[in-house]
Chain A
Amino acid sequence: MKKILVKGKATGKILKSTNPINFLGTVDKKTGIVSEENHDLYNKSIKDSILLFPYGVGSSVGAYTIYSIKSNNSAPLAMICEKVDLTVATGCALANIPLVTVTEEEFSSLNDGQEITLDTESPNPITLLQ
């Protein structure tokens, strides 16, 4: 792990995207469903997942989308990125969604559907569950 941006603990299944995410306009703020065609997560909901994606892109208002999906109970349990961007960092900070960054190797070693525990207070923050 590289860095803890927002502290917390969560257990859940990884939803992995190799594409960056533009939260504003492509993630539904009520359901958390991704509407961008040709995106890894097209038509999938990010609700209750451990969302693993490279980084956030696009509009600054995406931070409100993250806050909204949390208020509508459709947010991921935690987010793991390769690189931080301010939209995701501040959206998660206000919504209290745990957020960490990982190295490129860790990013590629984590797979879609794997169940993990993320605990930013633990010496091994990411644990794979069998």
Chain B
Amino acid sequence: MELTREEESALKGEQGEIMEMAYRILVATGEATEAEKLIPIKWAHLSGVNYNTIGDAGEEFLRSISKDAKVKVKTSLNPMGFDIDNVSKYGLDDNFISKQLSIKNSYENMGVIPSFSCIPYEIFDIPEGGTQVSFAESNAAIHANSFDNLKTNKESAFSALASALTGKSPYSSLRKDDHSNLTIRMKVENPDELTYGMLGFFAGKVGNESVNISGIGKMDTRSCKSLCGGMGTSGTCAKFNFDEENPESETVDFDEDEMKKVYDQLNTSEKGDLITLGSPQLGLEEISDLAVKLKGRSFKKRCMIFCPRAVKEQATKLGHTNELERAGCEILSDCCTCLTPLIKKDEVDAVTTNSIKGAYYLKNSNGVGVNLKPLSKIIEDETA
């Protein structure tokens, strides 16, 4: 990768340790993506916020760099481990809470917007088509490339941080116009959001940089997010194309058999002790749809709903929060099902969810069983 004189000087450490680290990360990213130069980006979205995932080493690292580091472009932030408004109900120890608040302070000191959301594409205005951004958080990067007409790598937590601190990112092939060399033919009929999540999980396993999907039909917001969350979990792919014809690409079918393989891998329990909705977090459209679906009904067991604080505030003004709480939901802002410290295996055997991404991490990280169902079936079975 070619660097300008100023970039070379930063890499040599002539502009301080923070810039040296940031450029070291950008150069590794550039080598990995075979980029020939760095280009400016307009918006960075960072992951690596939840103390449950980054631990003491991450907390110390952020505390140390935040003394000097400042972001150069608009920078938003992934969810953290809890909602400060109701954290006392969930039995987290004081160490967790203080380390999480330290992480929050470090990001704020660097000038990051404390959005605590994995769905930046639903809570911020989307820049004009073709704008270069750097999104860590796999579902958000895939959503940005596939549905929002933005351009990003499937950034790592560190490559997005380096982009935020420098305002630059390697000009990789994903940032140029590309076409997919693999087409997945969607062969499953009457898909719901769970089907799309499983399609995404399958796509991540078979695809490389981007995949084309044919025969997919029209998807609602819930299904689009499920598709992106599924693919982000299983692979390295960063983009969907939706061309019906793509004659130069290889073809593979996603049929009932392939779907059953994904389902059998991720569905590990016949029933859940509690329900979680939101991985990715729910946006306003899904919250209001849920409020309508729950009219006159109540959950028979605990149901945790995860959304950005900005969405909860709007939902409260519209009366949806009241309606959901009446139906027995616990609404949590600033955090998410994925890698949550609020669900512990000594208290919960299994969780019911419609999220493929949530299912994967609940099983492998939290160590609990997972019962997978689409939202319509969750409401049918678990409310009265």
Chain A interface residues (CB < 8 Å from chain B): 3, 5-6, 20, 22, 24-26, 29-30, 35-36, 38, 55-65, 67-68, 70-72, 83-87, 89-94
Q: Does B210 have its Cβ within 8 Å of any Cβ on chain A?
A: no
User: A11 → chain B, closest Cβ, in Å?
Assistant: 23
Any A CB within 8 A of the CB of B73:
no
Contact with A along B148-169 (1 / 0, CB 8 A): 0000011111111010000000
Smallest CB-CB A-B distances: 7 pairs = A25-B365, A93-B28, A71-B57, A60-B136, A90-B158, A84-B32, A68-B57
- B77, CB-defined interface residue at 8 Å: no
Q: Is B24 a contact of A57 with CB atoms below 8 Å?
A: no
Q: Tell me if B262 is interfacial: C-beta within 8 Å of chain A.
A: no
Which residue of B has the minimal Cβ distance to A68? B57
Interface residues of B in 330-384 (CB under 8 A from A): 338-339, 360-361, 364-365, 367
Whether a CB of chain A sits under 8 angstroms from the CB of B58 is: yes
Query: B7-50 interface mask toward A, CB cutoff 8 Å, 1 = contact, 0 = none?
Result: 00000000000000100110111011100000000000001101
CB-defined interface of B225-238 with A at 8 Å, one 1/0 digit per residue?
A: 00000001111100
With known contacts A25-B364, A29-B57, A85-B236, A61–B31 Cβ distance under 8 A: no
Residues of A within 8 A of B56 (CB): 68, 71
B364 in contact with A56 (CB, 8 Å): no
Known A86-B29, A86-B33, A93-B25; judge A63-B236 contact (CB<8 A): no
Residue B147 lies at the interface, judged by CB distance under 8 Å to chain A: no
Instruction: Given the known inter-chain contacts A25-B365, A67-B57, please indicate yes or no for A56 contacting B236, CB distance below 8 A.
Output: yes
Partner of B364, one of A26, A65, A86: A26
Nearest Cβ distance between residue B375 and chain A, in whole angstroms?
A: 24
User: Could you tell me if B235 and A57 are in contact, using CB atoms closer than 8 angstroms?
Assistant: yes
Which residues of chain A come closer than 8 Å to B338, judged between CB atoms? 59
Q: Closest Cβ of chain B: how far from A22's Cβ, in Å?
A: 8
Chain B residues, Cβ within 8 Å of A92: 28
Q: Which listed residue, B32, B48, B50, B53, touches A5 by the CB 8 Å rule?
A: B32
Q: Which residues of A contact B365 (CB under 8 A)?
A: 24-26, 35
Task: Report B55-99 residues with CB < 8 Å from chain A CB.
Answer: 55-58, 60-61, 78
A29 to B137, CA, bound (A): 19
Q: Does B54 contact A (CB under 8 A)?
A: yes
- Bound-state Cα–Cα, A58 to B338, Å: 12
List chain B residues, Cβ under 8 A from A72.
57
Does B204 sit within 8 A of A, measured CB to CB?
Answer: yes
CB neighbours of B50 from chain A (8 A)? 61
A68 CB → nearest B CB, Å: 4
The answer on a CB contact under 8 Å between A86 and B156 is yes
Nearest Cβ on chain B to A124's Cβ, whole angstroms: 21
In the complex, are the beta carbons of A90 and B159 less than 8 A apart? Answer: yes
Which residue of chain B has its CB nearest to the CB of A93?
A: B28
* Cβ-defined partner of A36 (8 Å) among B24, B138, B153, B364: B364
* A60 touching B32, Cβ below 8 Å: no
Q: Among B157, B162, B265, point to the contact of A60 (Cβ < 8 A).
A: B157
Smallest CB separation, A19 vs chain B (Å): 11
Which of chain A's residues have a CB closer than 8 A to the CB of B28? 5-6, 89-90, 92-93
Would B157 and A63 count as touching, CB distance under 8 A?
yes
Offer 10 A-B interface pairs, CB within 8 angstroms, sorted by A. A24-B365, A35-B365, A58-B234, A59-B138, A60-B47, A60-B157, A86-B156, A87-B157, A90-B29, A90-B158
Q: Which residues of B contact A35 (CB under 8 A)?
A: 364-365, 367
A93 and B24 form a contact (CB under 8 A): yes
Least CB distance from A14 to B in Å reads 22
Residues of B within 8 A of A93 (CB): 24-25, 27-28, 158
Looking at the assembled complex, report how far the CB atom of B249 sits from the nearest CB atom of chain A, in whole angstroms.
Answer: 19
Listed residue (A61, A64, A87, A89) with the most chain B CB atoms within 10 angstroms of its CB: A61
The complex places the Cα of A64 from the Cα of B57 at a distance, in Å, of 8
In the complex, are the beta carbons of B32 and A89 less than 8 A apart?
A: yes
